[in-house]
Amino acid sequence: MAKTPWGDADTLFGRRLRPGPGVPREVVEADQRERLMAALVVLADDRGYPALRVEDLIALAGVSRGAFYEQFRGSDDLLLAAVEEIAALALRDAEAAYARGGAPETRLRAAIEGLAAFATAQPAAARLWLVTAYGAGPATVKVAERGIAGIRTLIAQATPELPPELTAGLAGSLRRALAVRLRHGREDELPDLGRPFATWIAGYQPPPEQLRRPRGQAGGTGVHFTPHDQAERILLGVCEAVYEKGYAAATLADVAARAATSIRTFYAHYESKEEAFVDAVDLAQVQSDAAARAASRRAADWPHAVRNGLSAVCGYYATEPALAEAVLVEVHAAGAQALRRHDESVDSLARLLEPGYELAPDTPPIWSEAISGAIDSLLYDAVRAGGGAKLRAIAPTATYLALSPFIGPAAACTIANDSGQPRRRRQSD
């Protein structure tokens, strides 16, 4: 069975302690707590967290039901404790590596390699922190993000002049790179992340001027998605239900009510909530991609095309809060197929950067993944912070992140702050 930070899973039942003379109660409780967290890591990795029952956890851990509820209110409470402990263990390794000294880039590389080493040695635990937690509700995300905040602190120490919003994007990109590889069982790639990510992060310089927030409507262009048939009303109903309740809590009755239809009609179009949600993600991503392409084609050159495209994506999601919540946040709770669709959306951001390699041919290919991951992280954070104006406000930061490695900080800053959007005649793809 899988390894955990608290021992191999197949040893959990056999090494349990029992209260008695010479065994302090707090020692027994600490042992029970560790075995329950280990059981959670193994079973969540094997079955998926939503399928877990308390009965399964206590059976594997060798803990009574009464002892479980003396320490935890339920499996969600146990998940919070396990994620917090795993993040602390991973961050401890990264901080220890960073503290060994050297040039900032060297220390940053060591810290990333420390994180990668932990994830490689403990992939099930790392998945619980960097993948499962992000689909388990706001409380668990908040705990998981504390560990990411620790990574952000290390990046800020290595690049003290960068503004906080850039540092946040860089830390989010690293989290995503780790999470994607863990999600797809590609742990063998983790040790190779240290050098290219450290070089990428350390290469950023602060913008020569402050990045200005764009002017205009706080909510985007004012064009909202209008469904044209029952199927599209259902898709919008799914997004609205998820926006209000979260993916896990939204029921088919909620979807039907918001779509002004019946559950019977829902089943005439879709077999499940998950299937409808995946189609809703597809719809939003097609529309946001179309907005980005149209805006990019109106630009005079590639750097302005990047700026226009990213501004269009931010504006689209600012205008469509329900779709933004579904595509950028709740997608992490909706299963493997929805996450694959989200990966494709992030890949489309990476493709927007491809012409930059003609300007800077020595740029490592992995940097496009890193940059698109940083932009995705900024979008995610903006939606969680309220969307709307916050989404539009990140466009200059996203533009600077995207362009600076290819054209340098001065030119990237100028374009990020340029609201004129130079135009040319439309060209076909």
Question: Is pLDDT above 50 for 150?
Answer: yes
Q: Any idea of the CA torsion for 66, 69, 74, 79, to the nearest 10 degrees?
A: -110
| DSSP code string of 101-165 | -SSHHHHHHHHHHHHHHHHHH-HHHHHHHHTGGGGS-HHHHHHHHHHHHHHHHHHHHHSTTS-HH
Q: Mean pLDDT, the chain, as a whole number?
A: 89
Q: What are phi and psi of 43, to 5 degrees?
A: -70, -35
pLDDT at 18: 64
The CATH code of domain 9-72 reads: 1.10.10
Residue 225 confidence (pLDDT) above 80: no
pLDDT tens for 165-218 read 999 999 999 999 999 999 999 999 999 999 999 999 999 999 999 998 876 544
* Span 61-66, average pLDDT: 91
Number of residues that this document lists for the chain: 429
Note the CATH number of domain 274-416: 1.10.357.10
Q: For residue 267, what pLDDT band results from cuts at 50, 70 and 90?
A: very high
Higher pLDDT, 281 or 213: 281
Give the model confidence (pLDDT) of 88-134 as tens digits: 999 999 999 999 989 999 999 999 999 999 999 999 999 999 999 99
Nearest-angstrom CA–CA distance, 93 and 382 = 29
Contact 110, 98 (CB under 8 A): yes
Spans of all domains in the chain = 9-72, 95-202, 274-416
Given a cut of 90, whether residue 221 has pLDDT beyond it is: no
Per-residue pLDDT tens over the stretch 70-82: 999 999 999 999 9
pLDDT at 20: 61
Which pLDDT does position 222 carry in this prediction?
Answer: 42
Average pLDDT rounded to a whole number, residues 40-48: 93
Nearest in space to 47 (alpha carbons), one of 58, 56, 38, 55? 56
Report the alpha-carbon distance of residue 99 to residue 371 in Å, rounded: 27
Residue 27's pLDDT band (cuts 50, 70, 90):
confident
